[in-house]
Amino acid sequence: MTLREALKVRQALRQTRRRHEKVALLADWLRRLAPGEEEAAVALLTGTLPWGKSGVGPGLLQRAWENLPPGTDEVPLAEVLDHLHRIAQARGQDDKVRLLRDLFRRLSPAGRAWIAEVLVGEVRQGAGERTLLEAIARAFDLDADTVQRAYLYGAPLAELIRQARAGTVRPEPRLFTPLRPMLATPAAALDLAHRELGGTGLYEFKLDGARFQAHRLGSEVRVFSRHLRDITATVPEIVEAVRRLPAGRLIVEGEAVALDENGRPVPFQVFMRRFGKRRHIEEARQRMPLVPFFFDLLYLDGDLTTEPLERRRHLLFQLAPEEHRIPALQTSRVEEAEAFYRQALDWGAEGLMAKRLDAPYVVGERVGLWLKIKPAETADCVIIAAEWGHGRRRGWLSNLHLAVWDPGRKELLPVGKTFKGLTDRDLTWLTRELLKRKVAEEPGIVYVKPEIVVEVAYSEVQQSPRYPSGVALRFARVKRFRPDKPAREASTLADLLRSHAR
């Protein structure tokens, strides 16, 4: 297949908004791929190159594009990818530009634009990951859930296309292929989490460290980060701890921290200086050794992800010595869980994880079987608008639109709304003060001068496409008004992103 044929599919994708039509277009294209073209197709569709970054930015692209007549796009997809690989391997900028021009002179402006998007990792054509997975299933007449789960179990997209064509898709763990981690759902309070678990659950210290997944086959061990990067060379302490486990084939999950002289976790910011090290590892290890704490066993001479947590932990505890087990409590009494929560915080943990004992390991999903409980964090937010209330709040401006500064303090960015934490007296005063600052109004909403600052408690910063900031405060509630703080001193987006990174 040539890039010209692929461009026809791209144009059709960008012209339709109906998802089922996008799936059909992609499925037809995938069926027509020749063996060996899978990596090229994935790169064009997702902007993800098999070898990582291209080393090409807008400046080099502009130099390469100048004064070139249009080409025909009659370039085989595999040849396009090979050319991009040679560009990535080229060391000097002049060599990269020369190779880019060699490719661009064979392409039309539309073809060049697509390749430019791939090189900078910003492909936009209205076909995301979920759409592509459905298209793979449809192209080769497979169950969509099977394809989705195989992807979550770590099958790369290009490999998944090959497996789908051959009818060999198997959603199961494979050693040295990282599984997408099971995700936890934030809980507003411990008693609510206890109730959601059905009255009995497993509580674990939630460490403020770095989650990892370690695979072992014989003496070979590889360690992957939460984002599936191979970090084996940077974490020798984890490699050694996994090698000491009395098992030949396993996948174990854990959290790495560094401990101070009192055996307590060091702050996250300090720890990341060690965990993020790529050079001088032995020297860094002497200064700040990592300590792995294991909390789940996903594979032991076979798949354990479908087994209940209670059995997985039983097997893990037979392997892992106590100093590498994450502190945990199994209880049906909320009072015991609350005491354990205080113990976790006193020790320096971030909070608690609450887990159902009968829960399987649901790869890559957030399904409410794991809950995370943390003390509320706070941010100083500026009120930029408010909505008129309903029911008993009728007549008051109550649902506050909250904003923080962008890192350069050039503008305020919305990060959520809340009406929680406000008394009737607060609402009366707030309505009066906001109306004094009104600058615009539309049905139900009053926009105001950004002058009133409130301290907002929240449980988590979560990604949100709804706001230009890209994040939103979860379970936000007003803690107090800050008349002592001018709006220019409110929190920044960088403050929230640091919280989100933890």
Taking residue 423's Cβ as centre, other Cβ atoms within 10 Å add up to: 9
455: DSSP letter: E
CATH number at residue 363: 3.30.470.30
- In percent, the amount of the chain with pLDDT more than 70 equals 98
Mean of pLDDT over the chain? 92
User: d(Cα 146, Cα 161) in Å, to the nearest integer?
Assistant: 13
Distance of CA 76 to the CA centre of its chain: 34
CATH number at residue 140: 1.10.3260.10
Ranked by mean pLDDT, the top range of 122-126, 240-244, 492-496 is 240-244
C-beta of residue 386 within 8 angstroms of C-beta of residue 418: no
Verify that 269 and 355 share a domain, yes or no. yes
User: How much is the average pLDDT of 361-365?
Assistant: 92
Please report whether residue 67 resides in a domain. yes
Please report whether residue 176 resides in a domain. no
Taking residue 77's Cβ as centre, other Cβ atoms within 10 Å add up to: 22
Q: Report pTM.
A: 0.72
Please report whether residue 465 resides in a domain. yes
User: d(Cα 314, Cα 319) in Å, to the nearest integer?
Assistant: 9
Residue 186 pLDDT greater than 90, yes or no: no
- Indicate the residue type of 1: M
Please report whether residue 172 resides in a domain. no
Helix (H) or strand (E) holding 305: none
Q: Can you give the pLDDT at residue 500?
A: 54
Verify that 204 and 303 share a domain, yes or no. yes
Verify that 450 and 485 share a domain, yes or no. yes
Please name which of 207, 228, 213 lies closest in space to residue 152, comparing C-alpha atoms: 228
Please report whether residue 99 resides in a domain. yes
Please report whether residue 154 resides in a domain. yes
**Which of 174-178, 319-323, 407-411 is predicted with the least confidence, judged by mean pLDDT?**
407-411
pLDDT band of residue 405 (cuts 50, 70, 90) is: very high
pLDDT band of residue 345 (cuts 50, 70, 90) is: very high
User: How much is the average pLDDT of 306-334?
Assistant: 96
C-beta of residue 288 within 8 angstroms of C-beta of residue 275: no
pLDDT band of residue 499 (cuts 50, 70, 90) is: low
For residues 275 and 75, the model is more confident at: 75
Count Cα atoms within 13 angstroms, Cβ side, for 266. Answer: 19
Residue 124 belongs to what domain range? 3-166
Number of structural domains, the chain? 3
Verify that 127 and 214 share a domain, yes or no. no
Active site residue 206: yes
pLDDT band of residue 118 (cuts 50, 70, 90) is: very high
Q: Can you give the pLDDT at residue 304?
A: 97
pLDDT band of residue 125 (cuts 50, 70, 90) is: confident
CATH number at residue 429: 2.40.50.140
Verify that 361 and 384 share a domain, yes or no. no
User: How much is the average pLDDT of 38-62?
Assistant: 90
Active-site annotation holder among 22, 96, 206, 355: 206
Please report whether residue 251 resides in a domain. yes
Strands (DSSP E) contained in 167-309 are 183-186, 201-206, 210-217, 220-225, 249-258, 290-300
Q: Can you give the pLDDT at residue 120?
A: 86
Residues in a beta bridge with 388:
397
Verify that 361 and 381 share a domain, yes or no. no
C-beta of residue 198 within 8 angstroms of C-beta of residue 356: yes
Please name which of 450, 380, 467 lies closest in space to residue 416, comparing C-alpha atoms: 467
Verify that 120 and 203 share a domain, yes or no. no
Taking residue 229's Cβ as centre, other Cβ atoms within 10 Å add up to: 12
- What does the buried/exposed string (b/e) look like for 118-156 if buried means 16 or more CB atoms within 10 Å of the residue's CB? bbbeebebebeeebbbbbbbbbbebeeeebbbbbbbbbe
Residue-wise pLDDT tens digits, 225-281: 988 999 999 999 999 999 999 999 999 999 999 999 999 999 876 888 888 778 899
User: d(Cα 309, Cα 313) in Å, to the nearest integer?
Assistant: 6
Residue 501 pLDDT greater than 70, yes or no: no
Please name which of 293, 355, 288 lies closest in space to residue 322, comparing C-alpha atoms: 293
Residue-wise pLDDT tens digits, 82-97: 999 999 999 899 999 9
Verify that 439 and 364 share a domain, yes or no. no
C-beta of residue 181 within 8 angstroms of C-beta of residue 226: yes
Tell me which of 166, 198, 216 is where a domain ends.
Answer: 166
Verify that 266 and 243 share a domain, yes or no. yes
Verify that 152 and 67 share a domain, yes or no. yes
pLDDT band of residue 408 (cuts 50, 70, 90) is: low
Verify that 386 and 325 share a domain, yes or no. no
Tell me which of 373, 393, 418 is where a domain ends.
Answer: 373
Q: Can you give the pLDDT at residue 401?
A: 96
Please report whether residue 259 resides in a domain. yes
Tell me which of 320, 338, 373 is where a domain ends.
Answer: 373
- Report the largest interatomic distance among the alpha carbons of the chain, rounded to a whole angstrom: 75
Q: Can you give the pLDDT at residue 7?
A: 96
pLDDT band of residue 28 (cuts 50, 70, 90) is: very high
pLDDT band of residue 69 (cuts 50, 70, 90) is: very high
Residues in a beta bridge with 460:
474
Verify that 298 and 403 share a domain, yes or no. no
pLDDT band of residue 466 (cuts 50, 70, 90) is: confident
- Indicate the residue type of 136: I
